[in-house]
Every structure is written in C-alpha cells, then in structure tokens.
Amino acid sequence: MRFTRRLLCNFGLRATLSAPLWARSGFAQADETPAATPQISPAASPSHLIVIDPGHGGRDPGCIGAGNVYEKDIALDTAMDLNALLRKSGYQTMMTRDRDVFIPLPDRVEFAERHQAALFISVHANAVAGDPSIRGASVFTFSPDPSDPLAAAIARSENSVEAISSPSFKGVSPQVSGILFGLMSRSTKIESVLAQQKMVAALSRHVDMLPNPARQATFAVLQSAAIPSILVETAFLSNPQDEKALRTPYFRHQLALSMKSAVDTWFVARRHAIANL
Ligand SMILES: [Zn+2]
C-alpha cells in the first residue's frame, strides 16, 4: 500500500493528538534526569559535547512505513546506538530524548545551545510522496534557500508536523530564515558544512545514498546561530528496500558506525578549518 509522506505523518498525528501535552515535562526529564545519563569522561571538555537528537517522538510519530514502522522508533534506536558508540570512545554526549516523548523543535535547539554543544546531530528517516523509487541517505544543513525542491518538501514536512503539534511555534518563514542565517556565525556555517561533508563521506562507505546527498533546507531544528548542526535522513520509509533495511539492527548499526566515524573525522578537520578562519 502506497502512502504519501504527508498522509503518513498526519495519520499518526490524528491518532495521537488527543493525548495529553507533556512536551515540556518530558524534555525536562530528558535534560535533568535522563535515563541514558550523560557520561562525561575526565578528559572531555564542554567543547567536545555532542548533542544527539532523535527526530519526533511521543504523539509525533514522524513518517510511518507501509509495514507500520514508525520513524520516531527508527530514529531513537539509531541515535541510542550512536550515543553508545561515541561514549565508548570517550566522547561527552547528551540526547534530546532517550525515550518515546514529544520534544518541540525549538526546545531541541535551545537544549544544544544551553549546554554549549560542539556539534548537534539530528537523526531522522524520510519519506516522499508519489515516487517510491527514491531512496538513500542524505545529510542536511540549514539554509534559507533550499538546495532543491525535494529538500524544500522534506523540510516543509518536518516543520509542518511541529506547526500542528505546537501552536506557539511560528515555523521558519523565509524572512525569519534569512535573519537566522545572517545571525549564524561564519564558523558555525563552516563547521556545519564540514560536518555534512564528513557525514556524507562516512555514510557513503556503508549505505546507499540519495543522489546529491549533501543538501540544504530550512529545517527548524538546524537553526542555531551558535552550534554547528546537521540533520541525517537515514533512508526513505516510502521505499520498500530502504524500509526493509531500516527494520534490521544491522543496517541501523551501520548507520550509527558511519555517524560515529564522521564525528571522529570532523573533530580533526574542524581544528584546521577554524585555524584558517
Ligand atoms: Zn523526521
């Protein structure tokens, strides 16, 4: 059975909108008493904190695959795997959520800024209306000017979920996007693009990629002016082959290994990039 992304996402929301709104308390829990307590190695400094952001959660399921696979579950599982790999290597990490709770997009950004993260990685799965042949991973940075129509549609879909779930959130209008991009420091932009390049290179070695996998769009969750931020769309739930892969722990572990490898190379490369600013 073929679904469009909007139908998939809205279906899930309609089914859960009557649930109590517990976004703030859920987020505070993740912040103050996280189940996956941030483990800080003695050698770690605040500038090495990585905030991992599993997309969606709670009443926002994200996209839902034809086999009833929820994006929010795929994102959380992959992000938890990445978190474990990074900690094992001595990185300091925090997660915006470590369980099935709804966290508003602006709060995810604020969380990373409050903790002065060195890098923010948002993990998602994808879906596109009308063309189930589209598949593969892609990596996004923020820009007021989307790189292509598909990137714009994906960002609209991610933001539209938030608009429904949190009426106070204004979304990212072209005007606001332009202002935010202007506020973004040069180093934040450079470090974000560098993280995108490293992530695309690392993922390409292990999983199939969307053509032109490095894309830009107005993702609300990437709008920090201070924290280098990227969003990984791991695969398309609207593609049968991708959906089948996403169901397997092996594939999700390959994604996590790739992302961890990208973090390793990013920390090395950004030292040179900042030195040359
Ligand atoms: Zn998503």
pTM greater than 0.85 (yes/no): no
Residue 123 C-alpha to ligand 1 middle, in angstroms?
8
Residue 56 burial by CB count (10 A; 0-12/13-18/19+): exposed, middle or buried?
Answer: buried
Q: Which residue type is seen at 228? A: P
In angstroms, the CA 155 to CA 220 distance is 8
In angstroms, the CA 127 to CA 75 distance is 13
**What is residue 161's predicted lDDT score, i.e. its pLDDT?**
55
Residue 155 C-alpha to ligand 1 middle, in angstroms?
9
Q: Which residue type is seen at 178? A: G
Residue 181 CB: number of other CB atoms within 10 A? 17
Residue 126 C-alpha to ligand 1 middle, in angstroms?
6
- Average confidence (pLDDT) over 100-115: 94
Task: Assess whether pLDDT exceeds 70 at residue 110.
Answer: yes
Residue 100 C-alpha to ligand 1 middle, in angstroms?
14
Residue 95 C-alpha to ligand 1 middle, in angstroms?
16
* φ, ψ (nearest 5 deg) of residue 216: -130, 145
**What is residue 184's predicted lDDT score, i.e. its pLDDT?**
74
Domains of the chain: 5-37+44-275 (3.40.630.40)
Question: Tens of pLDDT along 217-262?
Answer: 988 899 888 999 999 999 999 999 999 999 999 999 999 999 999 9
Q: Which residues surround ligand 1, an ion (CB under 5 A)?
A: 55, 62, 124
- Average confidence (pLDDT) over 145-150: 88
